[in-house]
Structure 1
């Protein structure tokens, strides 16, 4: 077991109000997670702008997107009253208690400071007192803009002078956000450090982040809420993003030339020509954000009727009493803040910043080894890195589905895999254009209709033992999943991902029939990767085998352990039962006992224990009581369930009750990798499943005991 690192606390203090403090803070939390550290987050006191009863945005997103331990902040009213009544020391004790609670389970704690403004002038004083009370290392957060390095160094030094006793509080580094452009950010990053007045050594630049207009796109619902507009039609108001605003001040012909995906059209309601011309563009597939009708007007009845018909009924329609000029001005000056309901945008902001953070100076300050836990961000990060190294061809049978097309484009852009979209080429390109997706040349499009005939004879040959006829094969190949599976069976691709619009059975059945088991495997099984708040657990088998024998259960355990190792999880295998050790008897528990013995005999290198109850496998104190001297020590991360009833029930119970994201099922033991998606899968889910499949393919044996070699 790794020695726990010495706790370290970093306090992020804004040097200017427009530095984007929360975004930068959470980007740092994510970046540190990706190093394998256990990161806690504390926003000690709520900003005054937060309404009473609401959770501070920083704490909210730290919990929901970063998986960080984040207590509720102290209310501003309580803090102000404590200061007014001379109880500043008591307030600091409350803050220290919050941090200590988080610190107990973390290697490093990131504390977000307070942003001073005219109504909150006490913020600077509170920042200083909190930094001193915590003994935290300081990280000034600056707005880069077009400032020179010398100007930024002077600003950071001036801010740092306010902290510390006689000398300065240790400055761990500088975070510079909102640089004028990518060139300015790159120039700062190239410097590596800035020399501050009075500082003995240069202070490292932890990140220089450029302005990113594409991350500022609000949703239509945010515009309606922020500007108090009436909603005439909701449509896709919760998901439509405004990339650009166009005012219908010119002719309809000139207006059409300005339309792009994500355009919000601002127009008086009596401009029926402009409205109908724009609607025609949307009807032909361009995903516009919607309309804002000004001056309190409503479209003419015939125009309203046209907008109410599919697919135009998906457009969000807003109305404001303001005139067009005032409306355009308000939109131009709209706050860049992220609405608490807009988790997708905040996730993209956090990822954008995290990718640009150099964590090395902070990790060096810890001066202790990293704990072996794998948080979900680390899991996802390693998936992408290993898939990129594998460079495999993955077929996507649902090639005309928008999420799948976008995922393929992302995989090409990030070099995660070489994706093949299966479908009608014209339709695929039409869907891509309608959704504003730029398909890179690296994404291969295969015409399913033209390819089916050449797989008829191979399919008949593969299924001849079942008496499959040529006509039956032709009918079967009308199913794009069957066609894609045949491409995989013929070694023309390396893996298959499906399920965005197909059932699990539709994805898995062709694989079981046509791919079959890998050499050395007698069974096909599955695992789910359970993305718990602080680590990733592996559950198997929760999808394939109803009631495995002891020998089959042992093979499932070995397959699952190898899968865990392939994805960077050092397997500690728990063979789950309703009793622990020798405390129970009966065929069910005996089966688990025999399976455990066989795993130990076949793979003495694995850490495995069983039969063992779930609590004894996961809680150290319970494990010491129920399984004293056992190898798991309450830290199991691979859980093998005795049957499908137990496994599937447990997986769904944990997923729903703990609001846990799961990736899978990933099939094990097949000659070639096939993986299923949820029909509600997000684009990111598809991207990570493609990455997972590419890693399996790189092993040359999708779960046949050799998958761990892919991790080397």
Structure 2
């Protein structure tokens, strides 16, 4: 049975989009087929940005037109006919989905007597319980008291009750951060039953407009600067209608500065202040008045080489400032930081487990790639570990760091020059204030690491001078941090080769006592399950003993990530039907695994089809507990493994997470140089989970 939920409010600007995004993200961990529906949407040339944002979520596979019921004009013309059309279109969406998130209309006087009453009527007719969103801020921007919120709830409840809509929960969004408990208490008293009430604090960042939206609002043009930085939000406005020195005193972090186009002195001073580490980092500059810059001024700006966006508009100072202050920020798909902020607020302040229980969602019987990825983040968040990221000069690392910190996935140290790293993050509009920034040339650590490295490599004739030079390499520096307990794990490789990333771990971290070889696996997320493939990235041609090590390590990795351990030792032959050196190697490796770990379900040699297909497995190996049900696949060599994982990734549309290194005493993981931000986030989460396991082992031994 499809379970649905209807998100609505009694007024505009309550932040339904934040709640809808958080709810959609939560549901994506619980259901395979998610839907989004907007019963009443704008029918003008401008598409509904909230709906487009939600449809952009990875878990949703619907078109914009399918997800819309009717337009506002349709409701005004004939509310009953519009409702019939809404139900008809909703049923078509419901038939395709396990759960549908229904987002009520914006507050635009859709129906009579109030818009909420029409939304309540729609919810009742769609059979969807209502998650009521109340705005914690009044229209003039003042925080509402607990008594005010209780009164707002009472008004809303009357409308829901009159339409016989079922209330599943109340979220007071944009609440006064200093009075969350009081607000929850006040509204809970007004609710009067066991309906849960949650309060999410106001976050000014979520309502801040991006520089791109300000560019459009003032009908401006980008004169110079990095167009990618137009995504940054403007957290304030400074109208530079004064002398240069007074403007510099009034600059605000993350603000947009409005400068008259003929005030070249103020423009240049503002650009220089932004480039300096002693002044706030700005979001951008808007030159008003439509004046052309003098050639000599443009030459000076060229010399400053500042990426800060400079926008020109023909409006005067007053109109420019008025337009900017009236431009409201949107939770749009192109703002990753807003996404992360909204998700983090929902995760931290709404009891998702309780909400899911009230929706009566049953645990999923399949595991989709998205479910698995979110499971990684959840597990890493339970006991945050300290991960070092050596490649602080890579924008992808900074973006991933912002997401990881905002979502509470891990504690981070980023290697690089602190001024440069924090400066670039500020330019990108990223918040990495929670990360430590450490220079690999830090003298105290450099000497400490060099001394340790000389001890470790004394048998190779290592000298102090060479060691001091070696440990300033970011991979060596990060690995030494892990070795000495200054970090729990390391993730690198976005800008370095695999060899550059993992060579230091072979020299410094080394293998676990019972493991002879470092290997890797890919976590292959298929449509309905997750499999483990090893080794697909490190060892070209392992012998039988090494292959057995890879199998045992792969089973341990599978266990760490909640995957059943049924090991298929792959070959071109199944059982006793074939012979030859390659088959004999796999047969010997299988015997070694059974001898060393009799508790593991392992079979081989076995062909891939017999390992995955129940019918083929039963035919070729009828007595095997692995055939047709394998979850861990051990390939005989790197050539086979690497090609197979890529073939499955491309042809079956699987999500390949990895390579995940295994066999090391402490976790070090490599990234592809083409890694996306989400790949980095996933790999850090995996590394953190591995570090949790290391910490648990130490605790057991203590």
Alignment TM-score > 0.5, same fold: yes
Do the aligned partners of residues 448 and 150 (structure 1) sit closer, same or farther apart at CA in structure 2, a change above 3 Å counting?
closer
Number of the residue aligned with 2:93: 98
Match of 1:16 in 2: 11
- 8 A Cα contact 2:209 2:328, kept in partner: no
Instruction: Flag the 1:526–1:274 CA change in 2: closer, same or farther, 3 A.
Output: same
1:613-666 CA-to-partner distances (Å, cap 9, x unmatched) read: 778877899989999897679886655444333444455566678888765433
Establish whether residue 135 from structure 1 lines up as the match of residue 132 from structure 2. no
Task: For residues 530-581 of structure 1, give each alpha carbon's deviation from its aligned partner in whole angstroms, at most 9, with x where no partner exists.
Answer: 67787766443332112334543343233233223334x2335463858796
Shift of 1:443: 7.1
Structure 1 position 189 matched with structure 2 position 184: yes
Do residues 117 (structure 1) and 108 (structure 2) align? yes
Please tell me whether the aligned partners of residues 230 and 318 of structure 1 are also in contact (alpha carbons under 8 angstroms).
yes
CA distance in 2, matches of 1:115, 1:475: 61
SS at match of 1:16: coil
Q: CA deviation at 1:506?
A: 1.2
Aligned match of 2:25: 30
1:269–1:300 Cα contact (<8 Å) kept: no
Is residue 268 of structure 1 aligned with residue 264 of structure 2?
Answer: no
Q: Whole-Å Cα distance in 1 between the matches of residues 630 and 207 of structure 2?
A: 42
**Could you tell me which of 294, 305, 308 is aligned with 1:300?**
294
Q: Who is 1:3 aligned against?
A: none
1:376 touches 1:534 (CA, 8 Å); kept in 2?
no
User: Does 2:220 match 1:224?
Assistant: no
Are 2:181 and 1:155 equivalent residues in the alignment? no
Q: CA deviation at 1:696?
A: 3.0
Structure 1 residues 94 and 154, CA gap change in structure 2 (3 angstroms): same
1:311 paired residue among 305, 330, 334: 305
Asked if residue 169 in structure 1 is aligned to residue 165 in structure 2, the reply is yes
Q: Is 265-274 or 300-309 further displaced after alignment? A: 300-309
- The verdict on how the C-alpha distance between 1:524 and 1:277 changes in structure 2, with shifts beyond 3 A counting, is same
**Equivalent residues in 2 for 1:195-206, closer than 5 Å:** 195-196=190-191, 201-205=193-197
CA root-mean-square deviation:
4.7
CA distance in 2, matches of 1:37, 1:193: 30
Q: Helix, strand or coil for the counterpart of 1:228?
A: coil
Whether 2:537 is the aligned partner of 1:546: answer no
Structure 2 CA distance for aligned equivalents of residues 600 and 685 of structure 1: 35
TM-score, normalization: structure 1?
0.79
What is the CA-CA distance between 1:25 and the residue it aligns to?
A: 1.3
| Contact 1:9/1:111 (8 A) holds in 2 | yes
Q: Is the 8 A contact 1:557 1:573 kept in 2?
A: no
Q: 1:384 to 1:489 in 2, by over 3 A?
A: same
Conserved 8 A contact 2:392-2:398: yes
Answering whether residue 199 of structure 2 is matched by residue 208 of structure 1, we say yes
In 2 relative to 1, CA 251–546 (structure 1 residues): closer, same or farther, beyond 3 Å?
A: same
Instruction: Select 2:272's aligned residue among 274, 277, 280.
Output: 280
Q: What's the offset of the Cα at 1:276?
A: 0.8
Q: Which residue in 2 is equivalent to 1:482?
A: 476
What are the equivalent positions in structure 2 for 1:633-712 lying under 5 Å apart? Answer: 638-649=632-643, 651=645, 664-678=658-672, 689-690=683-684, 692-700=686-694
Aligned to 2:497: 503
Deviation at 1:47, TM superposition (A): 1.7
- 1:156-213 CA-partner distances (Å, limit 9, x unpaired): 31231343xxxx333211122222x2134332234583544xx8x34221x2122210
Match of 2:284 in 1: 290
How far apart are the structure 2 equivalents of 1:69 and 1:619? 28
Report the TM-score when normalising by structure 2. 0.80
Give the Cα–Cα distance (whole angstroms) in 1 for the partners of residues 610 and 83 of structure 2: 45
Residues 1:99 and 1:177: Cα distance change in structure 2 (over 3 Å): same
- In terms of mean alpha carbon deviation, does 325-334 or 337-346 score higher? 337-346
Q: Give, in angstroms, the shift of residue 302 of structure 1.
A: 1.9
Unpaired stretches in structure 1, ≥5 consecutive residues: 1-5
**Alpha-carbon distance, 1:118 to partner:** 4.4
Residue 261 of structure 1 and its aligned partner are, at CA, apart by 3.5
1:523 paired to 2:514: no
Aligned residues: 680
Distance 1:619 1:234 in 2: 56
Conservation of the 8 A alpha-carbon contact between 1:540 and 1:640: yes
Superposed displacement of residue 256, structure 1: 0.9
From 234, 259, 262, the equivalent of 1:242 is 234
SS at match of 1:675: strand
- Retained in 2: the 8 A contact 1:576–1:614? no
- Indicate how the Cα distance of structure 1 residues 311 and 472 shifts in structure 2: closer, same or farther if over 3 A, else same: same
Q: In the TM superposition, what whole-angstrom CA distance separates every residue of 1:466-492 from its partner, at most 9, and x where no partner exists?
A: 555666545433423224434544566
Check whether the contact 1:29–1:66 (CA below 8 A) recurs between aligned residues: no
Q: CA 1:444–1:150 in structure 2 vs 1: closer, same or farther (change >3 Å)?
A: same
Aligned mates of 1:325, 1:155 — CA distance in 2: 39
Contact 1:42 1:73 (8 Å CA) reproduced: no
Secondary structure of residue in 1 paired with 2:167: coil
CA distance, structure 1, for counterparts of residue 610 and residue 194 of structure 2 = 50
Measured after TM superposition, the shift of residue 289 of structure 1 is 1.8
Q: In 1, distance between residues paired with 2:379 and 2:614?
A: 28
Residue aligned with 2:376, SS = helix
Cα separation, partners in 2 of 1:125 and 1:642, compared to 1, 3 Å = farther
Which residue of structure 2 aligns with residue 324 of structure 1?
A: 317
Change (3 A) 1:47 1:594: farther
Shift of residue 454, structure 1, vs aligned partner: 5.1
Instruction: Indicate the residue corresponding to 2:141 in structure 1.
Output: none
In 1: Cα distance, 2:551 partner to 2:626 partner: 15
**CA distance in structure 2 between the aligned counterparts of 1:29 and 1:328, rounded to whole angstroms:** 36
List aligned pairs for 1:250-399, cutoff 5 A. 250-285=242-277, 287-309=281-303, 311-312=305-306, 314-365=307-358, 370-371=363-364, 373=367, 374-387=371-384, 394-398=387-391
In 2: Cα distance, 1:335 partner to 1:437 partner: 21
Determine helix, strand or coil for the equivalent of 2:328: coil
**Structure 1 residues 356 and 325, CA gap change in structure 2 (3 angstroms):** same
Contact kept, 8 Å, 2:481 with 2:487, in 1: the verdict is yes
Q: Is the 8 A contact 2:568 2:627 kept in 1?
A: no
Which runs of structure 2 are paired with 1:424-463 in the superposition (5 Å)?
Answer: 447-453=441-447, 455-456=449-450, 458-463=452-457
Distance between the aligned counterparts of 2:232 and 2:426, measured in 1? Answer: 16
Residue 517 of structure 1 deviates from its aligned partner by 1.3
